[in-house]
Structure 1
Amino acid sequence: MKSIDPNNFKVTDKIKLSKIPTLLKVKADDDEKEEKLEKVQKKLSDLQDVMYSHNKYSVLICLQGMDTSGKDSLIREVFKEFNARGVVVHSFKTPNSTELEHDYLWRHYIALPEKGKFAIFNRTHYENVLITRVHPEFILAENLPGINSVKDITPKFWKKRIEQINNFESHIAENGTIVMKFFLHLSKEEQRQRLLRRLEEGKHNWKFSPGDLKEREYWDKYQKYYEEAINKTSKEHAPWYIVPADDKEMARYIVAKIIWEEMQKHTDIKEPELDEKIKDNFEVYKKALQKK
């Protein structure tokens, strides 16, 4: 299997989702993909330990994708070797009453990772320019000045919100948060098959919701707004990567490999060295311990 080059998935120019494949054809079976993933899992785990001791950077991994695109299982598999203290997962669903008493980015700010740690946003601040664009009536729950009906939500409103998201990501990047955003690019047919499996396989029944079928009716709208958001917010300090997601095993490996490769650019992440005075007294400390 060929090595994964992050540049093949990184959005640097304007993209059209309909022109990007949802399946990466490779000469590898699932066992080989799993073996490749396991190697990267361990590398990422070791890297996070070093990051923790270095204590200057944090990492924010943003995952977006249509229903059934594989976000949950990707998180489980890619980060399974991490020390539990080093990674936190946040799943952002419909804002609750407390969250609605603040601006829409507040709940994302307070979920940002501490220095030395990874945070994974399973669905992200981009829901505020995706699901709310498909269902603009949701904006009314934010109780914003000047927004009294859907008619008040103009193109200018969405342009401003995109600017706010760009500013948010620029701010956290300048303060030491490494941001990587992944769109799990799923085909409509593969989604249909996965929804069918939820109905047909007993162990997956609990995942099914009639609402999934309702949202599927808005497929084209979601693709349009994803495309627009990605094109307007993929920046060098917070890039988007479009990952073919019809093959779950391959998608997991691609995401893991991209994270690993991109983290290698931060060559200053190293374990701190002990003070020379402490090193010089190692023998003294050893003798003191041996006496007890």
Structure 2
Amino acid sequence: MNLEKYKISKKIQLQKINTKEVVDNAEKKLKKLRKKLSKIQNTMYAEGKYGALICLQGMDTSGKDSLIREVFKDVNARGVEVHSFKVPTELELKHDFLWRHYIALPAKGKLGVFNRTHYENVLVTRVHPEYILSENIPNIKSIKDINDEFYHDRMERINQFENHLAKNGTIVLKFFLHLSKEEQKNRLLRRLNLPQKNWKFSEGDLKERKLWNKYQDCYEDVLNRTSKEDAPWFVIPADDKPSARFILAEILVKEFEKYNFKEPVLSKKVADRIEEFKAQLNNE
């Protein structure tokens, strides 16, 4: 599989990128990848040089929650940390827009998954600029003060943030789950038609759906401005969930393999005494 085709390395137009790709036996193939991912994380932890930040963005119903469950289920529970970012709290609003994300970053040896990310600050707030006013930023007195320049500057701050992470041992990989409007409609209807799924439905989903085109424009701008070599974006066709999970997992494994993680070698002092330690245990 040519995984480079999912990576944003030049300017893209979202409407020209497929939202559906079907991989044969995707679920079966994913099981094998999960084992590889688990082994990689164990070795990453033992080496202790790198951590990994996996960012997931996508429209409502794009499958972020189920993807996290299926892709990372074989990773040691202590080796993966998932953070879902909702509306900022009163405390979070007293800090800069990146603060709550910075304190949630993974330690070296761990996989950190952001389900919705720091990019919400240039996506949702760009569609709803009134949200910015709650940040109480100096020189921002009204919505009139919030323009494209404001968001482009904020994106540059994000680029700098991610560059800093990469230089200090955090592997940053970002995934946009590219869903079609028709498939979102089907998934929302499923939530309404199946009683056991009703709890997932929110009237707000329909209000946000009406802003579909505006969100797509904002995503396209973000993807083009913030996909960097040290923190690339990948666009994952999301209409077929099993295939989307497999493709993302395959990219993770291939990207991590580039780092050639290795378990530390025992010091000569300890290695020379292995037989002695065995004898002590066997003679108890």
Q: Distance in 1 between matches of 2:171 and 2:223?
A: 18
Q: Any conservation in 1 of the 2:51–2:107 contact (CA below 8 Å)?
A: yes
When normalised by structure 2's length, the TM-score is 0.99
Offset of residue 160 of structure 1: 0.9
Alignment of 1:101-140 (within 5 A): 101-140=94-133
Give a deviation string over 1:211-267, Cα, whole Å, max 9, x none. Answer: 000000000000000000000000000000000000000000000000000111112
Offset of residue 155 of structure 1: 2.1
Give a deviation string over 1:90-126, Cα, whole Å, max 9, x none. Answer: 0001000010010000000000000000000000000
- 2:20 maps to what in 1? 23
Give a deviation string over 1:152-172, Cα, whole Å, max 9, x none. Answer: 112221121011010000000
**Letter in structure 2 aligned against 1:277:** K
Q: Any conservation in 2 of the 1:170–1:237 contact (CA below 8 Å)?
A: yes
Q: Any conservation in 2 of the 1:5–1:258 contact (CA below 8 Å)?
A: no
Q: Distance in 2 between matches of 1:272 and 1:5?
A: 32
Alignment of 1:56-205 (within 5 A): 56-205=49-198
List alignment gaps of at least 5 residues for structure 1: none
Q: Distance in 1 between matches of 2:17 and 2:245?
A: 18
**Letter in structure 2 aligned against 1:114:** A
Offset of residue 277 of structure 1: 2.0
Q: Distance in 2 between matches of 1:215 and 1:274?
A: 56
Q: Any conservation in 2 of the 1:40–1:257 contact (CA below 8 Å)?
A: yes
Q: Secondary structure at the match of 1:24?
A: coil
Q: Any conservation in 1 of the 2:38–2:74 contact (CA below 8 Å)?
A: yes
Aligned-residue sequence identity (percent) comes to 61
- 1:5 maps to what in 2? 2
**Letter in structure 1 aligned against 2:281:** L
| Equivalent position to 1:285, from 272, 277, 280 | 277
1:228 paired to 2:234: no
- 1:54 maps to what in 2? 47
Q: Any conservation in 1 of the 2:22–2:240 contact (CA below 8 Å)?
A: no
Offset of residue 24 of structure 1: 1.1
Q: Secondary structure at the match of 1:121?
A: strand
**Letter in structure 1 aligned against 2:248:** V
When normalised by structure 1's length, the TM-score is 0.96
Q: Distance in 1 between matches of 2:129 and 2:27?
A: 41
Q: Any conservation in 2 of the 1:51–1:57 contact (CA below 8 Å)?
A: yes
Deviating beyond 2 angstroms after TM superposition, the runs of 4 or more aligned structure 1 residues are: none
| Equivalent position to 1:253, from 246, 252, 259 | 246
| Equivalent position to 1:43, from 17, 36, 53 | 36
Q: How many residues align?
A: 284
Offset of residue 286 of structure 1: 1.2
List alignment gaps of at least 5 residues for structure 2: none
